[in-house]
Amino acid sequence: MNSTGFSKGDILVPDVEDFTAWSVIACDQYTSQPQYWHEVETLVKTKPSTLNMIVPEINLNSEDLDQHIAAVNRAMRTYLRRHIFHEVHDYIYTRRTLSNGKIRHGLIGVVDLEQYEFHPGSKTTVRATEGVIHNRIEPRLTIREVAPLEVSHSMLLIDDRQNTVFSFLEQELDQMQPLYSFQLMKDSGNISGYLVTPEQSERIDQALTALASMEEMEKKYGITDKGIFVYAVGDGNNSLATAKLHYDNLKRTLSEQKLQNHPARYTLAEIVNIHDDSFDFEPINRVLFGVDTLNFLQHLGRVHNISFTPQEGQQYFDCVIGEETRRIWIADPSSNVVTGTVQNFIDHYIQEFSGKVDYVHGENIVRQLAAQVDNVGILFPSIPKESLFETILIDGILPRKTFSMGQAMDKRFYLECRKIKP
C-alpha cells in the first residue's frame, strides 16, 4: 500500500462469455446521439452487460428515470447472486489499443476519498480539474446510495515525466497474469488487462510515493504553497464527486472505526500518465438547441467586446450556424480560459432567453447538429495537456466540460467492478 491517495484494492473481474457485450462506454458519451445507445442495446440484447448497471446520461431527463435506477440496482444484485465475478487484490495493468492504433497504458486501483476534493482551492493529493454538473450527480447519487456495486469510467492523470510507474510494467508483461483481452464494441479498439505481481505492486507504490513529495512539486512547478498534487481527474469528474458525496453522507451516520475500512471510502479508478504518447487533449464543444441564432450573436456582442477579425492574444472560438462558421475574438473575457467565458455567457443567455446546451465531443457532430434550424455550434481550440497540472495549481479547477482525453470512442469503457457495501 501507499498513502498518496491511489492504491491497490479489491477489484471484481467479470467471468462472462462475451466481454464485448459486457463492456460499454462511459455514460456521459453520445448524449446527443440516441442512435448510438440504441445500437448498443441491440448488441447487448439479454447478455450480462455493464449497460444494465448504468443510466446513460441521454436518459437522465426521461419520465421513467426512477425505473431505470431501480433496474440498475436489480441488475447488480442479480450479477452478484449469479457469481459472475472473481475478485483480485492488487493493481490491474491495462493496455488499451485506441481507434487510431496507439496504445494507452493504465493502472486500475482505488482512490481514497479522504484524499480527494472537487472544490476550488483544494490541497488534497487527488483534485478535480473541472467544475461538476450538479444535475448529473443527483441521479448517480440516488443509484449509489443503495447499490451493492460500483462500475467506473474515472481516469486520473499523473505528471510522471520520467515514466517511472509504467515503463517497467511494459517490459515485464510476461510476468503478469492475463485477466482479459477482447475487442471493444463499435470499432473502439481493444483492451487487455493483467494482474501485476506483488513485487511489481511494491515498485508501483514506491514510484507513486516518490511523485508525492514537496521536492517534486518545487522541481516541476516551482510551487510549494499549494499542497502536494499527484492525481488530476482526467475523466469522470462527476462520478468521483458522486462517490465523495455518498461517502460524506455515510460519515454523518457511522463511527470513525466503521469508516476506517468501509468500502465506500474508496472508489475505483484508472491512472494514466499525462505524457503517454497515445492521447492528446481534445476540447469539449457545445451545441445550443432551440435558440434565436441572430439574437444569440447580437446578445453576445452586447455582453462582450467581440471582433470577427484576428486579435492577437485574445480568447477566440468558432461559432457554427447552419453552414456558416465564424471565428469570434473576445477582448473582455469573464474567465481565464475561453471555455469558461463562453460557458458563462451560455448560462446567462439560456436563463434570460431559454434554450438548452449539450456538451459534444468531435467537430463533425457539432457541425451536423448546428446545421439544424435554431441550433448553434461552438468549437473551441485545444488545451495543451502539458500545462494542466500547473494551471490547476495556479488557477484552481477549470470550467465544467473543458477538455476530453481523446475522441469519444476512445473514452474508458466500463469493465471491472467493486463492492461498496460491507
In terms of pTM, does the model score above 0.75? yes
Condensed to tens digits (0 to 9), the pLDDT of residues 116-142 reads 999 888 899 999 988 787 778 888 999
Residue 241 pLDDT level (bands cut at 50, 70, 90): very high
pLDDT, mean of residues 275-302: 93
User: Which residues have CB under 8 Å from 202's CB, separation 6+?
Assistant: none
Residue 399 pLDDT level (bands cut at 50, 70, 90): confident
Condensed to tens digits (0 to 9), the pLDDT of residues 156-178 reads 999 999 999 999 999 999 999 99
Q: Which domains does the chain have, with CATH numbers?
A: 6-280+405-419 (no CATH), 284-381 (3.30.1760)
What is the reported pLDDT for 135?
Answer: 78
